[in-house]
Amino acid sequence: METTILRIEDVAAQAAEIAAAGAILRGGGLVAFPTETVYGLGANGLDAAACAEIYRAKGRPSDNPLILHAADRAMVDRAAREVTPLAEKLFAAFAPGPITLILPKRAEVPPSVTGGLDTVGVRLPESDIARALIRAAGVPIAAPSANLSGRPSPTTAAAVAADLLGRVPLILDGGACRFGLESTIVDCTGDRAVILRPGAITRDMIAAVAGAADFDPAIEKQDAAPRAPGMKYTHYAPKAPLTVLTGERAHLAAAFRREVEKRQDAGETVGLVVSAEMRAALHDLVPPTLMAIYGAQGDLVAMAAHLYEALRYFDDKAVDALLGEGVAPEGLGVAIMNRLEKASGGRRIEA
């Protein structure tokens, strides 16, 4: 299959191209498109056959449900049977934006889309390209992240192409995604908000609106069974095995130095996913081409935005191992550490 990559600079000026992309979706085809979190691989969310193409293109296990994207609050009602009072509050506060709410599903949503669950994840993306595309399609759009299953989510069109070239007809290129991590997922089926996947909308932000918010135990403990089925798979994994180093900043550089030297002595070529400060501290040990910088220390917004690109940077580098710099698990740091934890399969060194 030939893949077209279409740059979208201006949604209004390119209305005809967006309409054509919407028609592909409506007709059962796939379109990869940017959102403010990560790129999504879209299909008509009410069409089981179209959604089956998503699973095929990604190599995704079929028990891992898709989330549906709506252009406006009215379209949410075509996916969800009921929008609970808790969900109304969260939509009012955070939508459109990087949040997905789990709600009772409508019968019109095929069971294959929700992995047989009687709930559905619904998200109102903020990206103007995403919204225009969904509006043009006229149906809720199922869209997982536009990566091959198990790989880091794509935050640029080039990253989508690296995984899906030849597997999808069309990639809309809207530049780099603003947040860079997938949406916060909140189970809103009960009275109390339960966060199934941490993201840019933090627990404190949700608690401020909902009165309280819990993390699903699986976010904090590796052995608990996750309620977002996708969270159980190895995820976001770079091609070389990643180990995450965490701890007090004062000790972290020394711990990195020890670990790099140990591995280099064993003949390994080591790549680093680190802050600008750590690069400066280790520049005598590791060449600049083997260090991907994901932000300045403490700049969690930049780190979240660049994490997946930093992991993907090493896809075509001959490295035996990657060492990543952890952050304090507070605020947005919870989401960053959650993705690092998954990308590393739990390999961690505490400084």
The pair of three-digit structure tokens given for residue 134, joined into one six-digit string: 């969904």
Ranked by CB distance to Mg ion, the top (closest) residue is 145
Which is nearer to ligand TXA, 121 or 152 (by Cβ)?
A: 121
Q: Which does 64 bind (CB under 5 to 8 A by kind): Mg ion, ligand TXA, none?
A: ligand TXA
Q: For the beta carbon of residue 217, count every other beta carbon within 10 angstroms.
A: 13
What residues have CB less than 8 Å from 202, skipping those under 6 apart? 184, 331, 332, 334, 335
Which is nearer to ligand TXA, 14 or 145 (by Cβ)?
A: 145
Q: Which does 119 bind (CB under 5 to 8 A by kind): Mg ion, ligand TXA, none?
A: ligand TXA
Q: Measured at the alpha carbon of residue 70, what is the angle toward residues 160 and 10, in degrees to the nearest 5? A: 55
Which is nearer to ligand TXA, 20 or 117 (by Cβ)?
A: 117
Q: Which does 306 bind (CB under 5 to 8 A by kind): ligand TXA, Mg ion, none?
A: none
- By rule CB under 5 A, what count of residues binds Mg ion? 2
Q: Which does 35 bind (CB under 5 to 8 A by kind): Mg ion, ligand TXA, none?
A: ligand TXA
Whether cis (ω within 30° of 0) applies to the bond prior to 104 is: no
Which is nearer to Mg ion, 65 or 140 (by Cβ)?
A: 65
Q: Tell me the closest approach of the beta carbon of residue 62 to ligand TXA, in angstroms.
A: 12
Binding residues for ligand TXA (CB under 6 A): 35, 37-38, 40, 64-67, 100, 102, 114, 117, 119-121, 123, 143-145, 182-183, 185, 196, 227-231
* CA dist 110 → 25, 44, 106 (Å): 16, 11, 9
Q: Measured at the alpha carbon of residue 190, what is the angle toward residues 184 and 196, in degrees to the nearest 5? A: 25
Residues 117-156 contacting Mg ion, CB under 5 A: 144-145
The pair of three-digit structure tokens given for residue 280, joined into one six-digit string: 């400066």
Read off the DSSP letter of residue 225: P
Ranked by CB distance to ligand TXA, the top (closest) residue is 230
Which is nearer to ligand TXA, 185 or 286 (by Cβ)?
A: 185
The pair of three-digit structure tokens given for residue 166, joined into one six-digit string: 């030849």
CA distance 236 to 151: 5
Contact residues toward Mg ion (CB under 5 A) are 144-145
